[in-house]
Amino acid sequence: MALLRLGFLASHNGSNMQALIDACKAGRLDAQPAVVISNNSESGALARARQEGIPACHLSGHTHPGPRALDQAICATLTRHQVEVVCLAGYMKHLGPLTLAAYRGRVLNIHPALLPKFGGEGFYGQAVHQAVLEAGEKESGPTVHLVDEEYDHGPVLAQARVPVLEGDTPATLAARVLEQEHQLYTETLQKIAMGEIMLEGLKR
């Protein structure tokens, strides 16, 4: 079967995106990175994409003032690169209604906590892990889920669990979870590529 064409949206470092690109290159993921979009022109994600020779686009409120124009540009970019599945990888913006409608059921996100706990607006990066520690949780771990109109919402596809250890700081917990994020995102996408997880919106 042809490789699954992935489109990435990322705002910051892009380590999840890189893990997926590396898995594609190593043959552990039957997919092909088609395009990387970032709202942040200085993001590590765009730098990594250029380094890897993957089309890299900066699309934001600066390049496209007005949410509709931006939504149209994102949707057109994904379509032009024949993206089949959209992977949010630390993307800190909402996707617009046009893009969500065009890719309904085919947009995935990774979140560094066991949703539905510790998700939603403001739950990003260290704030998530800080909240987990403050709540006295004994375990945490990443969630891969389908994206809908709300932040960190939508059906859960996969989760992995990691223990919260005594003496953990947000940084140490984040590092332990991030390692699992890279694995879980790769495994989940490979299941999609193999047809073990069927996405309603994906015609292959």
Active site residues: 111
Closest CA to 19 of 80, 78, 90, 115: 90
Minimal CB distance to ligand GAR: which residue?
90
How far out from the chain centre does Cα 7 lie?
A: 10
Angle at alpha carbon of residue 189, lines to 184 and 193, rounded to 5°: 150
- CB nearer to ligand GAR: pick between 120 and 201: 120
Q: Does 13 bind ligand GAR (CB under 6 A)?
A: yes
Sign of the CA dihedral 81, 23, 16, 106?
A: positive
Q: For ligand GAR, how many residues bind (rule: CB under 6 A)?
A: 18
Q: Does 33 bind ligand GAR (CB under 6 A)?
A: no
Q: Does 7 bind ligand GAR (CB under 6 A)?
A: no
Q: How many residues does the chain have?
A: 204
The residue range among 8-16, 49-57, 71-79, 187-195 that interacts with ligand GAR, by the rule CB under 6 A, is: 8-16
Within 93-152, the residues that bind ligand GAR by CB under 6 A are 110-112, 123-125, 128, 152
DSSP run (H or E) holding 145: strand 143-146
> Rounded to an integer, what distance in angstroms lies between the CA atom of residue 193 and that of residue 61?
33
- CB nearer to ligand GAR: pick between 96 and 119: 119
Q: Does 23 bind ligand GAR (CB under 6 A)?
A: no
Angle at alpha carbon of residue 46, lines to 44 and 51, rounded to 5°: 90
Q: Does 84 bind ligand GAR (CB under 6 A)?
A: no
- To ligand GAR, the closest distance from the beta carbon of 4 in angstroms equals 19
Question: SS3 for 51?
Answer: helix
Binding residues for ligand GAR, per CB under 6 A? 10, 12-16, 89-90, 110-112, 123-125, 128, 152, 178, 181
